[in-house]
């Protein structure tokens, strides 16, 4: 059910938005308010709207592709950090760091589940505590190659955490989103006011084109924040790591 919702949820949402527009189109036809004659200009208008939307889609795609790699790389770095802490050996310092790593994973998982915000200050506070743990290991004579490796892994975790914050908190080209939404709204209005014969073919055409346009605009919005919505990256690896470390 979740896979079906993830795949078709956005299209269903667009169809729900378009349904009143189709009803409005029927009212316009009934009251003879279709005042625009279909011609090459209408075709060019719809094609232009699709072109604008394609530009926005190509703009958000690189961030989305990058976001797809973040969960796997983040999980691998945290797991390596956890195993390196165990490698140093039993002792109070190692136990403290292992607890901090578990806390880091749990906090990140909660931040992903908490929609709309990534509390970077919470994550950074735990990263600072882990950094202090690594410094403590170095002062007590832990092997330097292991210390360097843990510092590199912690640096990678912090860099990815900062990148997640940027992706969640910023919007790609807000003015571009406004242009795409305005162009889509304008195209839908023109379709509503256009007289397309035969009538039932026109209704079907308006419904299909409107659903496609609205679906793509919604897709762009979701891809601009790929950690929530219908177009989300797979975070199951991080959640599984959280469960695994809790079981340890």
183 Cβ contact partners less than 8 Å away, ≥ 6 residues apart: 48, 49, 52, 53
Binned at pLDDT 50, 70 and 90, residue 1 comes out as low
**What does the pLDDT read at residue 6?**
78
Provide the β-strand partners of residue 158: none
Q: Provide mean pLDDT across the span 135-142.
A: 90
Average pLDDT score over the chain:
90
d(CA 126, CA 136): 15
Closest alpha carbon to 60 in 232, 230, 235, 225: 225
Residue 80 has pLDDT above 80, yes or no: yes
Residue 3 has pLDDT above 80, yes or no: no
Tell me the pLDDT tens digit for each residue of 12-53.
999 999 999 999 999 998 888 888 888 888 889 989 999 999
Binned at pLDDT 50, 70 and 90, residue 116 comes out as low
pTM for the model: 0.84
Environment class of residue 50 by beta-carbon count within 10 Å: exposed (0-12), middle (13-18) or buried (19+)?
A: middle
Percent of the chain with pLDDT over 90: 57
Tell me the pLDDT tens digit for each residue of 191-226.
999 988 888 888 999 999 999 999 999 999 988 888
**Three-class SS of residue 198?**
coil
**What does the pLDDT read at residue 43?**
86
Contact 221, 228 (CB under 8 A): no
Q: For the packed helices 40-88 and 174-193, what is the interaxial angle rounded to 10 degrees?
A: 140
**What does the pLDDT read at residue 225?**
86
Binned at pLDDT 50, 70 and 90, residue 246 comes out as confident
**What does the pLDDT read at residue 147?**
93
* CB atoms closer than 10 angstroms to residue 51: 10
């Amino acid at each position: 059910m979740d896979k079906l919702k993830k795949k078709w949820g956005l299209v269903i949402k667009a169809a729900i938005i378009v349904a009143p527009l189709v009803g409005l189109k029927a009212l316009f036809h009934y009251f003879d308010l279709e005042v625009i004659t279909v011609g090459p200009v209408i075709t060019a208008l719809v094609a232009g709207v699709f072109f604008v939307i394609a530009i926005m889609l190509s703009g958000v795609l690189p961030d989305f592709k990058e976001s797809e790699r973040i969960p796997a790389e983040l999980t691998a770095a945290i797991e390596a950090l956890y195993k390196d802490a165990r490698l140093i050996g039993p002792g109070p310092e190692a136990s403290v760091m292992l607890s901090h790593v578990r806390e880091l994973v749990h906090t990140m998982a909660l931040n992903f589940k908490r929609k709309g915000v990534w509390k970077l200050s919470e994550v950074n506070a735990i990263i600072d505590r882990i950094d202090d743990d690594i410094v403590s290991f170095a002062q007590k004579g832990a092997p330097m190659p292991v210390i360097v490796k843990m510092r590199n892994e912690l640096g990678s975790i912090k860099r990815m955490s900062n990148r997640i914050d940027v992706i969640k908190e910023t919007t790609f080209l807000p003015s571009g989103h406004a242009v795409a939404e305005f162009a889509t709204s304008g195209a839908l209005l023109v379709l509503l006011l256009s007289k397309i014969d035969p009538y039932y073919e026109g209704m079907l055409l308006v419904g299909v084109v409107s659903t496609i346009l609205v679906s793509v605009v919604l897709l762009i919005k979701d891809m601009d924040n790929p950690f929530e919505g219908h177009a989300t990256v797979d975070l199951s690896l991080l959640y599984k790591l959280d469960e695994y470390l809790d079981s340890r």
